[in-house]
Amino acid sequence: MSLFDLTGRVALVTGGNGGIGLGMARGLAEAGAAIAIAGRNRAKSEAASAELGKLGVKTAVLTADVTDEAQCRSMVGDTVAQLGRLDILVNNAGINIRKAPQEYTLTEWRQVIDANLTSTFSCAQAAYPVMKAAGGGKIVNIGSMLSIFGASFAPAYGASKGGVVQLTKALATAWAKDNIQVNAVLPGWIDTDLTRAAREQIRGLNAMVLMRTPVGRWGVPADLAGIAVFLGGAASDYVTGTAIPVDGGYSVQV
Ligand code: NDP
């Protein structure tokens, strides 16, 4: 068996209907995995699913809000019902509300923590019994450069993404005995809807990203495909609890 062949595997990608999630889903599909796309916007998910289907893999469209624990559980159940199993969970859905800490309301704080951190916990918890019963699985959580660095405009986002890394370590240590590997990916600055909004809201962001990123460009969703295949398959069977930057060198340059 090839270390990077995902034929016969099934991946569930939250927020897989666009941006980084779709970039990872494309990589997993190209490696042979069937893909369940989960998001709130069904039309967007249908379009992503149709695109992935052209790669010759089975797909499923699941309409779910990952801030709702019950919907996380149904999403996992629907993946198994429609595609037969669940081998890879990519906890990618996420949002940001960019504001100074002193301007944040508690409602906004909770929205970001729920969408980025609590959802990761709920979806992983929902996937656990299915993966355990199948003899193993892979969970890939999406952190950020703000898992490492601070930003004046992202108090809740930074707290949530720092939390994702620590949650990853806890899940990895708890579930290693069940042959479930849990890792985090820390994307650098990737050109998506999320960061297009950030570019409009934060003066000088584009110039800062280009200057600070050693490779000298923004990332694109396709840059995350390789790490998804690595962490989703046999190649990473002895890798767990890590947080791997995919950032064009951003996190290693002063
Ligand atoms: P996008 O805004 O393009 O994608 C976000 C995705 O999350 C959408 O597919 C959206 O689908 C889904 N989503 C958001 N909230 C929910 C929810 N409550 N329930 C279900 N799905 C939800 O952003 P990116 O692709 O940039 O971001 C993807 C992940 O990568 C996020 O976790 C983000 O924090 C992280 N990240 C992004 C970076 C970047 O530079 N772009 C850098 C570092 C990390 P829908 O609207 O249909 O629900």
Tokens of 74: 């149904």
Question: What does the alpha-carbon distance between residue 231 and residue 89 come to, in Å, rounded to a whole number?
Answer: 10
Cα(44) to centroid of ligand 1, in Å? 13
Q: How far apart are CA 13 and CA 38, in angstroms?
A: 6
Task: Find the 243 Cα to ligand 1 centroid distance in Å.
Answer: 18
The model carries a pTM of 0.98
Pocket test for ligand 1, best of 63, 95, 120, 246 (most atoms within 8 A of CB): 95
- Please compute the mean of the pLDDT values over residues 177-201 and round it to a whole number: 96
Here the contacts of 41-45 (C-beta below 8 Å, separation 24 or greater) are 41/17, 44/17, 44/18, 45/16, 45/17
Distance 177 CA to ligand 1 centre (A): 31
Architecture of domain 10-190+221-245: 3-Layer(aba) Sandwich (3.40)
Read off the pLDDT of residues 111-158 as tens digits, 9 standing for 90 and up: 999 999 999 999 999 999 999 999 999 999 999 999 999 999 999 999
pLDDT grade, residue 222 (50/70/90)? Answer: very high
Share of the chain above pLDDT 70, in %: 100
**CA–CA gap between residue 223 and residue 221 (Å, rounded):** 5
Other beta carbons less than 10 A from residue 95's beta carbon? 16
Which two structure tokens, joined as six digits, stand for 88?
């890879």
**DSSP string covering the chain:** --TT--TT-EEEEETTTSHHHHHHHHHHHHTT-EEEEEES-HHHHHHHHHHHHTTT--EEEEE--TTSHHHHHHHHHHHHHHHS---EEEE---------GGG--HHHHHHHHIIIIIHHHHHHHHHHHHHHHHT-EEEEEE--GGGTS--TT-HHHHHHHHHHHHHHHHHHHHHGGGTEEEEEEEE-SB-SHHHHHHHHHSTTHHHHHHHH-TT-S-B-GGGGHHHHHHHHSGGGTT--S-EEEESTTGGG--
Ligand 1 atom nearest to 23, measured from its CA: 25
Per-residue confidence band for 239, with pLDDT thresholds at 50, 70 and 90: very high
Please give the average per-residue pLDDT across 203-223, as a whole number: 96
Q: Which atom of ligand 1 lies closest to the CA of 116?
A: 32
Whether 201 shows a pLDDT value over 90: the answer reads no
Mean pLDDT taken over the chain: 97
In the residue annotation, 157 being an active-site residue is answered as: yes
- Protein residue whose Cα sits closest to atom 31 of ligand 1: 94
Question: What's the pLDDT at 220?
Answer: 98
Q: Give the residue with greater pLDDT, 155 vs 201.
A: 155
Query: Model confidence at 1, in pLDDT bands (50, 70, 90)?
Result: low
* pLDDT above 70 for 51: yes
Binding pocket residue ranges, ligand 1, CB within 6 Å = 14-15, 17-21, 39-41, 44, 64-67, 92-95, 115-116, 142, 144, 187, 189-190, 192-195
Supply the Cα-derived Rg of the chain in whole angstroms: 17
Atom of ligand 1 nearest to the CA of 16: 9
Tokens read off for 30 = 């190209």
**CA-41 nearest atom, ligand 1:** 47
Ligand 1, atom 4: closest residue by C-alpha: 19
Give the mean model confidence (pLDDT) for residues 216-234. 98
Residue pLDDT, tens place only, 87-116: 999 999 999 999 999 999 999 999 999 999
Q: Which residue's CA is the closest to the ligand 1 atom numbered 32?
A: 94
